[in-house]
Amino acid sequence: MITKIDHVAIAVRSLATAIEVYSRALGFSEWLLEGVSEQKTRVAMHAIGDCRIELLEATAEDSPVALFIARRGEGLHHICFQVQNLDVELQRLRSAGLRLIDQTARAGAGGSRIAFLHPSSAAGVLIELAEPGTTIHSHINLD
C-alpha cells in the first residue's frame, strides 16, 4: 500500500540558480545539500510538511541527471511514493504487467529500500517506491 508522497525530484542545470528561483518564487529558503557520488549528482532538499522537494544537479557529463536534461530538459525527474512493504508492491506491479526498472528492492539512503517503475508504465513519469529505513530519505537514479 502506498502511504504518502515521500519526495518530488526535479532535474536542474544549476543548484544555485534553482535554489534562488525556488526561494524567491515559493519562499523555500532552507535547503540541505548532499552529494550522491555513485549517481554523480548533488541534491538539494527542502522539507514541506513530511514531504520534500529535491533538486538534482549533475556533477559529470555522464551523470544520469545530465543525460536526462540532455534528452528532456530541466523539469520533473521522478516522484517517490512511500510504501509499507516494497516486496509486496513489486509483486503486485509485476502481476499487473507493469515495467519495472528494478526487479527487486535495492538499498537507498538511511537504510531504506527502493525500486523504480519505468516511465512507460506510469504516463511518462519515473516513479520511485521507497520503504523507509531508520531515517526516511532516498537518493536518485534514472534508467
Half-sphere exposure of 64 (CA within 13 A, CB side): 17
Cβ proximity to Co ion, 41 vs 138, nearer residue = 138
DSSP 134: S
Q: Given candidates 93, 105, 140, 142, which one binds Co ion under the rule CB under 5 A?
A: 140
Spatial distance between the Cα atoms of 48 and 98, rounded to a whole number of angstroms = 30
Q: Given candidates 12, 36, 43, 80, which one binds Co ion under the rule CB under 5 A?
A: 80
Residues 9-28 that bind Co ion (CB under 5 A): 9
Write down the H helix ranges in 1-143.
15-26, 64-72, 86-95
57 binds Co ion (CB under 5 A): no
Spatial distance between the Cα atoms of 66 and 57, rounded to a whole number of angstroms = 8
The nearest distance, CB 111 to Co ion, in angstroms, is 15
Q: Given candidates 127, 128, 131, 132, which one binds Co ion under the rule CB under 5 A?
A: 128
- The contact set with Co ion (CB under 5 A) reads 9, 80, 128, 138, 140
